[in-house]
Structure 1
Amino acid sequence: MTNKVYFIGAGPGDVDLITVKGRNILSGADVVIYAGSLVSREHMKYCKDNVEIYNSASMTLKEVIETIDKYYRKGKKIVRLHTGDPTIYGAIKEQMDELNKLDIPYEVIPGVSSFTAAAAAIKSEFTLPNVSQSVILTRIGGRTSVPENENLEKLASIGCSMALFLSVSMIDKVVEKLKKGYGRNVPVAVIQKATWQDEKCVIGTLDDIAEKVKNEDITKTAQILVGDFISCRYDNSLLYNENFTHMYRKGKNEDSGN
């Protein structure tokens, strides 16, 4: 591992859902700055004994960059450990821009996102034939605003599968906008802390999901999945259809050439 900064996705919660590459780099790091509000401290048991560990939950951007700069100048190997996949709501762009100014090299190691972990938790597939072939990853506007052309109501009007981050605390507002956008009652699932030991899944529809979420006292660290893919009829994929040919397989009724 060369002397540079590694932005690593730690995965959604379960420490074994970090990638093999991510864990190998983490195990050789001299310094780890991890997002302690969302990343399990259990990851630290894979670090070497003399590693320096910082919890960025209490740090500002300036403090994170100053810490990285200090150790980089000392020739240390640095890991910036983010939750899920760092490229989705990871606030890494601002960090990388600051590192560019300091001529500090870095690499991004992808991770398993909470939206895919949430779908796995309810044993669903986002992209079902004749149901939806697109997935929208979004959030409702809060302290961080959302561009007007990405208003939740407008996005919902497309009718495809959706995964909402950072929105469960405003579930009533979410439901109101989704109802206007979809124009009908559709299935909804809310998964809190997907893949953690205290994972919680609530499944309903736009008509009852808000009440169910409140009854379960889910107010943070949850994914909201929306769309017919959660519960619907669908067509089987052509990929494994016996009459569908491709470069690796001939159809059942096709001449085998023997």
Structure 2
Amino acid sequence: MSSPVCFVGAGPGAPDLLTLRAADRLRHADRLIWTDSLVSPAIAELVPAKCERIRTSHLTLEDVLPLLIEGYRTGLRVVRLHDGDPALYSAINEQICTLNDEGIPLEVVPGVSAYQAAAAALERELTVPGVVQTIVLSRAGGRTGVPEREQLERLASIGASLCLYLSARHVEEVQQMLLHHYPDDTPVAIGHRVSWPDQWLTIVPLREMAQTSRERSLIRTTLYIISPALVPGPERSRLYSPDHVHLFRPNR
């Protein structure tokens, strides 16, 4: 029986941020179909020497789907390697729908997302008690657009830790809109190629978000995290508070 087609999240870029399961699927792949414009070549090198490697930066969905289907039907262990986590902006939905229609089994392996890697690199927690308890993952509209109910104006009004992908091309209008809902000194983390060897990561006030982006000529592979939690403070969780009683730490 053929192995299921495996969609693997490559994580933000660093090979050592792959999950163990992702690394295992790569090491046993017969055909690698990978997003070479966004995934680190070092991750693609983890496949066996005999593995067929197919880059997708010049392909369309109609080119990719037959490679998945034919690979499965000829008994190959097919790995479809996407950047980041497959649950976020990975375009796996349309691929999965076709495989389902063809009766082809599949597996999805999660990956670390750029917002997680950026927060870790900054040594920050994005949900700080008394400051913010919600993380919103979204993007500026751009060519793809977003549903009316998910317009950035509405999301920003929450005041949560807002993580914006795929938005650098629209940073001026994004900043202008955010300033309606966040103070102009709200810290914004700007991450470019997070966890890659040439990673660039900084924190600036919201009022300098667009200017900094343009000075660095940021267009692709850029993440913004807008959050009051990026400012270190004395707030603490009740989880380890002496007066917090729970199942594993009853009242003494």
Please say whether Structure 1 and Structure 2 have the same fold, judged by a TM-score greater than 0.5. yes
Q: Does 2:182 match 1:166?
A: no
Q: Does 2:157 match 1:157?
A: yes
Question: Which residue is equivalent to 1:143?
Answer: 143
CA distance in 2, matches of 1:197, 1:232: 26
Query: Is contact 1:157–1:183 with CA below 8 Å preserved after alignment?
Result: no
- The root-mean-square deviation of aligned C-alpha atoms, in Å, is 1.5
Q: Secondary structure at the match of 1:182?
A: coil
Q: Does 2:22 match 1:22?
A: yes
Q: Could you tell me how far 1:183 is from its partner in structure 2?
A: 5.9
Q: Could you tell me how far 1:62 is from its partner in structure 2?
A: 1.0
Runs of 4+ in 1 over 6 A off after TM superposition: none
Residues 226, 23 of structure 1: alpha-carbon distance in 2 compared, 3 angstrom cutoff: same
Q: Residue type of the partner of 1:186?
A: T
Question: Which residue is equivalent to 2:249?
Answer: 249
Q: Deviations over 1:116-145 (max 9, x none)?
A: 111112221110000111100000000101
Question: Which residue is equivalent to 1:222?
Answer: 222
**Identity in percent:** 38
Q: Deviations over 1:154-213 (max 9, x none)?
A: 111111111000001211111011112336542111111111111101211121121122
CA distance in 1, matches of 2:249, 2:170: 49
Q: Could you tell me how far 1:20 is from its partner in structure 2?
A: 0.5
State which structure, 1 or 2, has the greater radius of gyration over its C-alpha atoms: 1
Q: Deviations over 1:211-240 (max 9, x none)?
A: 122222222211100010111535211111
Q: Does 2:206 match 1:209?
A: no
CA distance in 1, matches of 2:45, 2:215: 36
Question: Which residue is equivalent to 2:176?
Answer: 176
CA distance in 2, matches of 1:174, 1:121: 24
Q: Does 2:117 match 1:114?
A: no
The unaligned stretches of length 5 or more in structure 2 are none
CA distance in 1, matches of 2:129, 2:230: 13
Question: Which residue is equivalent to 1:10?
Answer: 10
Query: Is contact 2:2–2:72 with CA below 8 Å preserved after alignment?
Result: no
CA distance in 2, matches of 1:65, 1:214: 37
How does the TM-score come out when normalised to structure 2? 0.95
CA distance in 2, matches of 1:80, 1:9: 9
Question: Which residue is equivalent to 2:51?
Answer: 51
Greater CA drift, 220-229 or 204-213: 204-213
The unaligned stretches of length 5 or more in structure 1 are none
